Homo-oligomer: A and B are copies of this chain.
Amino acid sequence: MTRRDYVRDGAEIYKRSFATIRAEAPLDGLPPDIERVAVRMIHSCGMVDLVDDLAFSPDVVRSARAALDTGAPILCDAHMVASGITRRRLPADNEVVCTLSDPRVPALAKTLGTTRSAAALDLWADQLDGAVVAIGNAPTALFRLLEMIDADAPRPAAILGLPVGFIGAAESKVDLAEHEAGVPYLVVHGRRGGSAMAVAAVNAIASEAE
């Protein structure tokens, strides 16, 4: 078989990727724990200018990691997010939850007059207290989460708010960043986001290994 000329060593690919990101991305103003998360998020999408749209509370990584260390579940809005989280990086064999396919969700969505993605969050009620929430798809899920917190639902330890798209994504992330409850958060403002970025954020918070 003809061997094409490319790097085949997985560890070397990671090392060179992360070095390229650190050489090109404007990471200087970031706290070290946020920097690690930003690097991995950039790695997931190939865009160093992602940093320009990054916003966060200074304690978000600390709070999310402490929650994971004590066994908190990770609540995801989409199956792709749940699928991408690297289980061996999780410090306490943490449960990864996505309720989107629960058979109760379609009826719940109809009753609530909202999307299935948003309705699925109502099934998180028992697990929300102190959880790490990763929203990588639906703006309606993030809006719904804020409404639940407005209505005195238990508070998660951190919200990684990375819905993507053209209708509501930017607005939902502004609402999260300005939310008066002050739950630790991380967002990429604007239309960009997605399951890969949400996964990258969780994987970076779960373990320092690069």
A139 cross-chain contacts in B, Cβ below 8 A: 6
Contact with B along A146-187 (1 / 0, CB 8 A): 111011000000000000111111011001000000000000
A147 cross-chain contacts in B, Cβ below 8 A: 1-4
A46 contacts B by Cβ under 8 Å = yes
Q: Which of B10, B115, B196 contacts A80 (CB 8 A)?
A: B196
Number of interface residues of A (CB under 8 A): 55
A65 cross-chain contacts in B, Cβ below 8 A: none
Residue on B with the closest CB to A18?
A: B166
A160 to B: closest C-beta gap in Å: 16
Interface of A is mostly: helix
- Which of A44, A146, A175: most chain B Cβ within 10 A? A44
How many copies of this protein are present in the complex?
2
Cα separation A118 to B9 with both chains bound (whole Å): 11
Q: Assess whether B47 is in contact with A192, with CB atoms less than 8 Å apart.
A: yes
A4 cross-chain contacts in B, Cβ below 8 A: 143, 146-147, 175
A130 cross-chain contacts in B, Cβ below 8 A: none
A116 contacts B by Cβ under 8 Å = yes
A116 cross-chain contacts in B, Cβ below 8 A: 10
Q: Assess whether A16 is in contact with B195, with CB atoms less than 8 Å apart.
A: no
Residues of A1-37 whose CB lies within 8 A of B: 1-4, 6-10, 13, 16-17, 20-21
Q: Assess whether B166 is in contact with A16, with CB atoms less than 8 Å apart.
A: yes
Contact with B along A115-156 (1 / 0, CB 8 A): 111100000000000000000000110010011101100000
Q: Which residues of A contact B (CB under 8 A)?
A: 1-4, 6-10, 13, 16-17, 20-21, 43-47, 79-80, 82-84, 113-118, 139-140, 143, 146-148, 150-151, 164-169, 171-172, 175, 190-196, 199
- Can you report 23 A-B residue pairs in the complex whose CB atoms are below 8 A from each other? A2-B151, A6-B139, A6-B140, A6-B172, A7-B167, A8-B140, A10-B115, A13-B168, A16-B167, A17-B165, A20-B166, A43-B166, A45-B192, A46-B165, A46-B166, A46-B193, A47-B191, A47-B192, A79-B84, A80-B195, A80-B196, A82-B83, A195-B195
